[in-house]
Amino acid sequence: MSFSPPPTPHSRAPKEDQRRFKTITSPCEWIEDYRPGGYHPIHLGDVFNSGQYKVIRKLGEGSYSTVWLGRDLCNDRYVALKFLVSDISRPTEVQILRHIKNLAPVESPKHITQLLDEFQHHGPNGIHSCLVFEPMGPSVNTMVEELPQFKPRKRGMNVRYPPPMAKSILKQSLLALEFLHDNGIAHGDFQPGNMLFTLHDIDSIPEDTIRQEEDVLARSISPPVQRLDGKEDKWAPRYLCMAQPLVPYTNYAEGFKIKLSDMGGAYFITDPPEKPVTPLGLRAPELILTGAVDKTLDIWSFGCLIFELITGHPLFCVPGSEYEDDDHLLSLTARLGPLPDELFHSWKTSSLYFTPERKLFNCQLGGVVEGGEPLVVEQTSMEELFDRAGPDLEREEAHNIKALVRSILQYDPAERPSPTEILANPWFRKIEVESSL
């Protein structure tokens, strides 16, 4: 290994010719994001906040944070440690969490993961905010893969929640959304990855049982991190940890509970952000075309999630690309019908796909290539797509769900129902959840 010091890495995401490390194929965060402004390098066994919190397991990672299970050595309990990249301090997230807790100290813990503590940590990549939460189980996105009926996985298997589970998840998340909206908060990132299962009481479980092993062969950690130039790197960890959600300690059978997490994209309804962090496929058309932001963006996302959790397939699958907005808008018109005039006229590239009379003539993203022929694909409505997915429902219930989704996904935000109005829908009224929620 060379002992001459390497140059400080760029603070922005590096281009291909600026890569520092050998490729790591393990399912982890991108190693190149360990740089000034990026992630803080963490190893199993690290201790933070003057010896209070000991890292023992990785729970997950996102674009702006890594999340770890820690042992609170002062209070003899487990906690979740969310280390933010140093480029983001997220003061609004803490402000909102405090606001909710102060307004509704009894109701808040039923719906939202609880902030227990916060501190700052100085590291090689900057100053990182760390938020300390109650530990939670896997997300709704992750848990479906862990259900025993899908192990071993077989070809052609429909990996989706059984209808009773899906309905309970939907009602509990909607009750949480109602709670937020009633207290002046929009979530802004309302998606299955931010809906978490609660845990059994894990504080009595020995640390040796729950601790993650530093074992490459067991695919618990990645092979050693290595620079391309062979130098030692002080900005990155020695290895990356694979996320190990607390599936074995999660209550997912009858009577399970769901809470909303990650208020990093949340905002006060009276002070909306310029650019919400809503995932591509869950964005409302006015957000795509005009940038309009209000609390009904959460409602639109929820309408899409009803479809997704019941069928096991997203209503709008939008891979990121140069033409992602066009892709999404074409899907919208196919699934839900023509855009209203005001929105359509805001679609600057609509002439690549529609005639002046607004007749669809091409579905090739980016327009018809020179000398080529227009591409026209089958237009499948939301209802047809729902039926093709073959959810395990009686015909009448399937009809009611499709009608509910259609009533929520209104192009006019003013026509979208509130969480309270959706909860009053006969289909939702029949869904039973724990009374303590």
Tens digit of each residue's pLDDT (9 = 90 or more) over 356-395: 999 999 999 999 998 899 999 999 999 999 999 999 999 9
pLDDT of the residue at 12: 63
- Burial group, residue 104, by CB count within 10 angstroms (0-12, 13-18, 19+): middle
Q: Is the pLDDT of residue 3 over 60?
A: no
b/e map 311-322, b = 16+ CB within 10 Å: bbbbbbebeeee
The class that CATH gives domain 136-202+249-437 is: mainly alpha
Min mean pLDDT across 67-81, 117-131, 402-416, 423-437 is at 423-437
pLDDT band at 15 (very low <50, low <70, confident <90, very high): low
Which distant-in-sequence residues (6+ apart) come within 8 Å of 202 by Cβ? 78, 135, 210, 246, 249
Tokens of 367: 């327009």
pLDDT of the residue at 437: 39
Classify domain 1-135+203-245 at the CATH topology level: Phosphorylase Kinase; domain 1 (3.30.200)
CB–CB of 73/53 below 8 Å? yes
Q: Is the pLDDT of residue 42 over 80?
A: yes
Min mean pLDDT across 7-16, 188-197, 378-387 is at 7-16
- The arithmetic mean of pLDDT across residues 46-62, rounded, is 97
Radius of gyration of the CA atoms of the chain, in A:
23
- Burial group, residue 355, by CB count within 10 angstroms (0-12, 13-18, 19+): exposed
Domain 1-135+203-245 matches domain 136-202+249-437 at the CATH topology level = no
Cα three-residue angle 147-150-167, rounded to 5 degrees: 50
- The arithmetic mean of pLDDT across residues 406-425, rounded, is 98
pLDDT of the residue at 436: 44
How much of the chain exceeds pLDDT 70, in percent? 96
Alpha-carbon distance values, 129 to 71, 101, 269 (Å) = 18, 20, 25
Domain boundaries defined on the chain: 1-135+203-245, 136-202+249-437
pLDDT of the residue at 63: 86
- Burial group, residue 265, by CB count within 10 angstroms (0-12, 13-18, 19+): buried
CB–CB of 301/312 below 8 Å? no
Helices marked H in 290-365: 296-311, 324-336, 341-344
Higher pLDDT: 432 or 88? It is: 432
Helix (H) or strand (E) holding 376: none
pLDDT of the residue at 13: 57
* SS3 of residue 121 by DSSP: strand
Higher pLDDT: 206 or 201? It is: 206
Q: Is the pLDDT of residue 182 over 80?
A: yes
Q: Is the pLDDT of residue 224 over 90?
A: yes
CA–CA distance, 239 with 41 (Å, rounded to integer): 9
pLDDT tens-digit readout, 102-140: 999 999 999 999 999 999 999 999 999 999 999 999 999
Min mean pLDDT across 6-10, 234-238, 274-278 is at 6-10
- The arithmetic mean of pLDDT across residues 165-189, rounded, is 97
b/e map 215-231, b = 16+ CB within 10 Å: eeeeebbbeebbbeeeb
Q: Where are the beta strands (DSSP E) in 124-257?
A: 126-133, 185-186, 195-197
Q: What is the mean pLDDT of the chain?
A: 93
Min mean pLDDT across 272-276, 328-332, 416-420 is at 272-276
